[in-house]
Amino acid sequence: MRALGSGLPLAIALAALALSAATRASEPKPAIVEIVELRHTEEALRETYAPKKKMMLPRMVMLDSHGRLIYGGVGLPSDLRRRLTVALEKDQPIDSPINLEAILAETTRSDGSKLTADALPKADAYVVDYWAQWCAPCRMMSRDLKGILNRWDDKRVVWLKIESDPEKLPDRGKQ
């Protein structure tokens, strides 16, 4: 072992440490994804799945940091990652009545309480996923979204998972 007085081993160790820290600092930080589970109100379910409406599951929208619509889709597209990434990068709001406040107005938490936009964490994007337990494509979308959202480097995402199950309407069988 060389004496510390020569400075060589210490200099090498410090250089290696600095290089390691610089490499870690240049690596993108992983996304921060917060999941909020909600459900459609009975009134919203009735409106969404009214007779003669052809509403499908799964459905998904993405909102920008201001809660404005930047993407919307039905079904499970094979290029979901690309669609969401492009929408996030372009960040061009779509002229639509769909926004964060409107979505939250038709949902509740599992205990029946309301959630406001102010109570949500601030985010770069809000991803809203409408699903039902019996819907296999919904479960596949959830799996895909988890992988996509966790790879968005340096992004803070709030994922609103909204149970939207028309079969849970009390009089569903009577329609």
On the CB side of 68, CA atoms within 13 Å amount to: 10
Q: How many Cβ atoms sit within 10 Å of the Cβ of residue 149?
A: 20
Q: What is the pLDDT of residues 105-117, one digit of tens each?
A: 999 999 999 999 9
Cα-only R_g, the chain: 23
pLDDT score of 31: 79
Residues with Cβ within 8 Å of 125's Cβ and at least 6 positions away in sequence, in order, are 62, 63, 64, 65, 70, 88, 152, 155, 157, 158
Q: CA–CA separation, 99 vs 104, rounded Å? A: 9
Residue with tokens 């994804």: 33
Indicate yes or no: pTM above 0.85.
no
Read off φ and ψ for residue 98, nearest 5 degrees. -75, 120
Q: Report residue 62's pLDDT band, with 50, 70 and 90 as the boundaries.
A: very high
% of residues, the chain, pLDDT over 70: 82
Q: Report residue 1's pLDDT band, with 50, 70 and 90 as the boundaries.
A: very low
Pairing of strands 32-40, 156-163: parallel
Domain ranges (residues) in the chain: 29-166
